[in-house]
Structure formats: structure tokens, C-alpha cells
Amino acid sequence: MKLSITSQNVRNFTRALKNMGVDAYIFDRGAPMTILKLRKEVRQCMKCALAATRRNVVFGEGDVNAQLVFVGEAPGEEEDIQGRPFVGRAGKLLDQLIERIGLGRGDVYICNVLKCRPPGNRDPEEQEREACKGYLFTQLELINPKIICTLGRHAYNTLLGVDERITRVRGVLTSYHGIPLLPTYHPSFLLRNQDKIKEAWEDMEKLKQLLRK
Ligand code: SF4
């Protein structure tokens, strides 16, 4: 019998294992990697200059078996203090977006491209994204969600290796290693541009439909 191993087959297999209650793991340099091991590694990370100014590493939180993962940009001040993603005003708005899908924060997984706060909430720099993005890729490989929703341009551009404006790609379904990926606005952007909220609601409706399939 010929067995063809594709990334889709591997994803389906790990999803089936997770549904049976078996912890998902992948092999990293020959050793099994789990979310807990990865979290421990990231908490000690000194790979970029942000390690010197962070209060806490913000690894991500939620259901590690979630079907839906939200990926934002980087921790802000409140997130840096609490060590949790999306806990300020933008976090409240993200909660509302999640509720639109008919889910709660505990049903999804939330993380960022950068795990440490850029001082003054400035945009992530290229070398910071390069240093940190491997953690996000591994996180997504381990969670293996059904759908990814990127929040803002940095998450979209980092995952897809492109340089797009969010206003151009928002709401257009694409994929990341075979996983459907829907880009929407970052909640912080929505707080400053309330006229865009209707488009974000539409994106949540789209996510709801995709999750039902
Ligand atoms: S931002 Fe990422 S790469 Fe930089 S120190 Fe924090 S965890 Fe490490």
C-alpha cells in the first residue's frame, strides 16, 4: 500500500488525536514539543531587544484545542503588566467580536506575533518580527485550528510573508498552510475608526459560517 504523507493528512491526524483527548505534539529538533514546553521556552526568551524592556512575556491564552485562533500584533501596556493578551479596551472589543460568533473567550485561542511589548506601543520592527515569528508558527502548528483570524496588518503579513495594507485584504479569505485564514481589523484600529465596525461584524459572521462547515 502506498501512503502519501501531506501536511493536510498530518493536520487531520493530529486533529483526530486531539478529538480523542490525546495531547497534540510535534517534533522539534528530534524532541517532542508541546504548548507547555513552548510556553516555558518563550518565557525565557532573550532573542531580541524587547526582552530588556518587557515586564512579562505574553505567550497567549485560551483553549489549546480551539477551532479558531485570533492572532494580533503585540502586547500593549496593560497586557505587558498582566502577562495576558488583549486585556485593555481593545480586549473588551475583541470579546464583543467573539460574542458575535456565538463564542466566548475560553472557546478560542488568542495570541500575538510578538510575545513582548514594544516600548510606547510602537509598531513591531522587522528584526523583532523575524526573531519572534517562529514561536507563533509553532504555536499554530500545535493548536492546529480549523480557522485563523488575523487582527490587523502585522499578523497577516507575518503569517503570509507579504506586505499588504489591511484595508486592501480585510474580509478576503485566504489560507495559511492549508488552514483558512480570514483577516480583519485590529480592535485598536476599530476603537479609533468606529465607522469600520460594521465590516468587522461582517467578518465575524463569515467566521461563524466557516466554523459551521
Ligand atoms: S519579542 Fe519574541 S523574540 Fe523578542 S524577546 Fe520577546 S519572545 Fe523573544
CATH of the domain at 115: 3.40.470.10
Residue 172 half-sphere exposure toward CB, CA atoms < 13 A: 9
Mean pLDDT (whole number) for 142-159: 98
CA distance linking residue 24 with residue 18, whole number of Å: 6
Mean pLDDT (whole number) for 130-159: 98
Q: Ligand 1, residues 43, 44, 45, 55: which to mutate, most atoms within 8 A of Cβ?
A: 45
Q: Whose CA is nearest to atom 3 of ligand 1?
A: 132
Compute the chain's Rg from CA coordinates: 17
Answer yes or no: is 187 within a domain: yes
Ligand 1 first shell, C-beta below 6 A: 42, 45-48, 50-51, 57, 114-116, 128, 131-132
Q: By residue range, what is the domain housing residue 146? A: 9-212
Tally Cβ neighbours within 10 Å of residue 17: 14
Residue 142 Cα, ligand 1 centroid: separation in angstroms? 19
Q: Is residue 1 over pLDDT 90?
A: no
pLDDT of residue 193: 97
Answer yes or no: is 61 within a domain: yes
Q: Is residue 29 over pLDDT 60?
A: no
Minimum-distance ligand 1 atom for the alpha carbon of 131: 3
CA distance linking residue 55 with residue 84, whole number of Å: 11
Q: How confident is the model at residue 54 (pLDDT cuts 50, 70, 90)?
A: very high
136 touches 113 (CB < 8 A): yes
Q: Ligand 1, residues 116, 117, 130, 138: which to mutate, most atoms within 8 A of Cβ?
A: 116
Answer yes or no: is 115 within a domain: yes
Answer yes or no: is 163 within a domain: yes
Residue 62 Cα, ligand 1 centroid: separation in angstroms? 20
Report the domain count for the chain: 1
Query: Which of these, 10, 48, 6, 3, lies nearest to 27 by C-alpha position?
Result: 10
pLDDT per residue as tens digits for the range 58-77: 999 999 999 999 999 999 99
Answer yes or no: is 176 within a domain: yes
Answer yes or no: is 2 within a domain: no
HEC readout, 44-92: CCCCCHHHHCCCCCCCCEECCCCCEEEEECCCCHHHHHHCCCCCCHHHH
pTM (predicted TM-score): 0.88
Q: Ligand 1, residues 50, 117, 133, 158: which to mutate, most atoms within 8 A of Cβ?
A: 50
Task: Give the bridge partners for 184, in sequence order.
Answer: 151
Residue 189 Cα, ligand 1 centroid: separation in angstroms? 24
Residue 125 Cα, ligand 1 centroid: separation in angstroms? 12
**Choice between 4 and 143, residue whose per-residue pLDDT is larger:** 143
Answer yes or no: is 4 within a domain: no
